[in-house]
Structure 1
Amino acid sequence: MAEVTHKRESTKSRCFEYVDSEALLGAGAFQSDGDGVAIVSNCSSEEVKAIRPSRIYCCFDQVRLSYET
């Protein structure tokens, strides 16, 4: 079971390995203009573990992940 869980987490984390620089710039532009950036996601525990350390996570002012609520 641990191997299956590890593979699922690894697969989910790969989704966040590449973040287009345009997405990061766009989020930064909203924040520079004083606008907030939020994400609401219907996510799994594996996705929660993957998104928190990702480069894009810091771009969000508010985060609501369904797995945690």
Structure 2
Amino acid sequence: MNFDLFLEKLKEASLSKEEFIKYTKVNPNTLKGWATERQGRKVPHWIVSWLELYINNKEKDIVIKALKR
């Protein structure tokens, strides 16, 4: 995943970079490194699955809360 797609996924998940860092315990400097041209603007592969699971769980939580009403 490139860094621009990562930012789009964060937006889709309604997460800020700070919240992502808090939940994943990724070093803030590591996140900054992903954004650099020197690193090829690449994000590790595990980030893709983590964000997909976060988004899916968030959607399920919304449905569960609606059903409980």
- The TM-score, its normalising length taken from structure 2, stands at 0.27
Whose strand fraction is larger, Structure 1's or Structure 2's? 1
- The TM-score, its normalising length taken from structure 1, stands at 0.27
Whose helix fraction is larger, Structure 1's or Structure 2's? 2
